[in-house]
Amino acid sequence: KPISRPGIDGNVWQRHWRLYKSPAYNFNCTIRRRKKLYGSRVSAKLIYSKEIVSNMSSELLSLQDLFSKTIKYCVNCRQDLSKCTALRCSRCKVVHYCSRECQKSNFSLHKPYCKKIHALRLQLSNDEPTLAENEDEKKASQYKLAYAILTLGYHSTDTIERGKSIYEYSLLEYHKLLRKDPFWIGACESVVLLLAILGYDGLCISLISFMLSPPSMAVLEAYGRTRSDAESLSREARIREFTSICSANPDDIWIYGPDDSGRSFDLSAYENIRSLIPKQWGANVFQVPLMLVKMRQYARASNNSSPSLRKLKMMEIVEICRQVEYSADFLLPVLRSLFPDSRQRWGTTEVCGLLARMRGEIIEEEGEEEEDSDKPYEMNAWENSCSLFWMMLKDCYAFTPNILDVVEETIEEMTKQGINVIAEDPEAPTAAEFTDFVSYMADRQRSGLSALPPGFFEDQNH
């Protein structure tokens, strides 16, 4: 429960709780009701802001319109459906087929995912009024739906390009959660990663820029905030305020700024990025997507471009990679692990150390048709997603033309500058394997057995 503002009686606050939750920018409320709550606010401000929001949808980008241009593929035979009729599953509304025969052939694989997605959609479509304490449950369900679609796309397709239309459905669901709560763990992380993986570089950079820089004073004043009010808001509060203001727009409208694919951050700015990231987020929430975006842009750039410009771009990539390579609390050979022939072993703890910087504790699920765990979902949901995002990142590097050459050039440049690029160690156990081994040794000692069984080092199975 927030602290009541001066001049507002506590009982009035309770009666008008729903109005404040918007917060006080619910454009369906009348000026008279707003004045009753907040006293001497200028009514012209509300009219002006209402006019801006009503026109915003026509001015801003619709993600659904953007994604409608994506070529769809049959998830069974991988046929390009751009020149024939695409049949969409009527239940999950995510995957497409070229014929009924392909749909029947794919049914056994598709059924468990389809059932789960359909159930989550029904759960979220319940429009009955919910208590404030149930809002987090709806957000958790929104995250589950987005992740279920993401998992379906990964297991139903063989490349990022062929699964792009499915991943975009997942991105839309993650984006809905981002609009509801910009700081929900896993929402912003998933959106920026998916935007980078799917090639929407401009939107990825514009979202990162928005999250690092709060809306300007002029923007908040245009929506009815006085200058003193706006100045008193923290950076995160301004982001929440602006997102709430834009709630009158459809969930697929992009409110985080224009396509900004050409933007380069100053090298000194990368040192400050992590200081601006909320503590509950991973240290690489923006660095890993930026690493992919900047490498892909460098790979696409012509070799005939200015050498000084290419040098500046490479310095930017080196700075990002340096931070990513040494971000975890333990050594992670990130750059060398991006190559398809990498033999480095990555477990859940390692992936979470890179993307979430949290201890990897996965929600155990017996099967896709089983009921979800009763554990608090937000604590584990993002960690549970990290392994899948890491595999998608590796696929993206493997299938993007010339990007692996950029990785090699980056490693060479880092070596020239005296920055140690962590080497692979294929024989090293993962953190989970090491923990299991320590537990095994402790159990043997407690039971009075020898610490190491005879022939332990000679037996290759050990």
* Phi, psi torsion values for 87, nearest 5 degrees: -95, 120
On whether the CB atoms of residues 160 and 167 are closer than 8 A, the answer is yes
Query: How many Cβ atoms sit within 10 Å of the Cβ of residue 329?
Result: 7
Q: What is the dihedral of CA 196, 202, 208, 212, to 10 degrees?
A: 160
Rg, the chain, Cα only: 25
On whether the CB atoms of residues 204 and 211 are closer than 8 A, the answer is no
Confidence (pLDDT) at 393: 96
Confidence (pLDDT) at 349: 87
Give pLDDT tens digits for 419-448. Answer: 999 999 888 888 777 777 778 777 777 776
Confidence (pLDDT) at 379: 53
Residue 360's closest CA among 371, 372, 351? Answer: 351
Low-confidence ranges of the chain (pLDDT < 50): 1-58, 230, 359-376, 457, 459-462
Computed over every residue of the chain, the mean pLDDT equals 78
On whether the CB atoms of residues 133 and 371 are closer than 8 A, the answer is no
Within the chain, what is the greatest distance between any pair of CA atoms? 85
Residue 311's closest CA among 273, 270, 264? Answer: 264
